[in-house]
Amino acid sequence: PFKDKFPNRLINAGVAEANMVGIASGLSSQGFIPFVNTFGCFATRRAYDQFFLSANYARQNVKLVGTDPGVTATYNGGTHMPFCDTALTRVIPDVVVLEPGDGYSLHHLLKAVYEHKGSVYMRLQRKGNPIVHSAQQQFEIGKGIVVKDGSDVTLIASGAIMLSHAISAAEELEKQGIKAAVIDMHTVKPLDEELVLSYAKKTGAIVTCENAQMIGGLGGAVAEFLSENHPTIVRRAGVKDLFGEVGQLDYLIDRFELTPKRIVDEALLAITKK
């Protein structure tokens, strides 16, 4: 464990998330590069003012890692289920917002986060991440990755659950004669606008897929950009206007309609509206 190997580089701040981000901001002001780790709900909601002001407004270099995003909080329940963390952090000026899609993505993006000068929020599922990318895949902050090409509809996903579900949905759509492109949009902010625009022009229909509140998250980012630059049909597969609840992961995926079927349905609807 990290604490055994580097005991002088670990601070356990206890149940004091706001103080934890404040400490990290102070360390950053002295030239350190602090990584702050806690549940996504507490990293954003409970320590929001400190991350907004002490870290970002003060132009510090704080790396905030929020674990157990969305329904992956499972038995911790609604109080610990961050559906709005992407939206909350996305509105902070100059902050980078990331959600790796698998282990290889995390490995490369973690190094990129370390090297990035400025504060970052990384949304991170801790376990059960299917491998999507190859070990040779290159990752860059702000650059999405085309996992599967297609010409009829584009599925833009972030995070492990929805990226794997988008791939499954594309396979199902292919059985129906529909060619769906799949993009791993691991960086929600800054959005890869060039890639979004190119596939909006190519397919004319977009479905965003996120294990998060649809309001203000990845879907919001894509819709905002396209509405101003290339009006395109955008459907969003994500959590609706709801609070979280307790349950097994499979139950919660069904309960909040984060399934491959939901993505397929949204894709078919988007295509009919082209």
For 124-138, write each residue's pLDDT tens digit: 998 878 899 999 999
Q: Which CATH class is domain 145-272?
A: alpha beta
Architecture of domain 2-124: 3-Layer(aba) Sandwich (3.40)
> Percent of the chain, pLDDT > 70?
100
Q: How many CB atoms lie within 10 A of CB 44?
A: 26
Model pLDDT, residue 130: 87
For 17-49, write each residue's pLDDT tens digit: 999 999 999 999 999 999 999 999 999 999 999
When pLDDT is averaged across residues 247-272 and rounded to a whole number, the result is 98
The residue ranges of every structural domain in the chain are 2-124, 145-272
Length reported for the chain: 274
Model pLDDT, residue 244: 97
The beta strand positions in the chain, using DSSP E, are 35-39, 63-67, 96-98, 120-124, 145-148, 153-157, 180-184, 187-189, 205-213, 233-239
Mean pLDDT of the chain: 97
Model pLDDT, residue 126: 85
Cα 225 from Cα 138, distance rounded (Å): 25
Model pLDDT, residue 127: 80
Domains 2-124 and 145-272 share a fold: yes
When pLDDT is averaged across residues 183-205 and rounded to a whole number, the result is 99
3-state DSSP assignment of residue 271: helix
The catalytic site residues sit at: 17
Cα 268 from Cα 153, distance rounded (Å): 9
Q: List the one residue out of 267, 268, 266, 246 whose CA is nearest residue 255.
A: 246
When pLDDT is averaged across residues 118-128 and rounded to a whole number, the result is 92
Model pLDDT, residue 129: 81
Cα 66 from Cα 61, distance rounded (Å): 16
Q: With contact defined as beta carbons under 8 Å apart, do 38 and 17 qualify?
A: yes
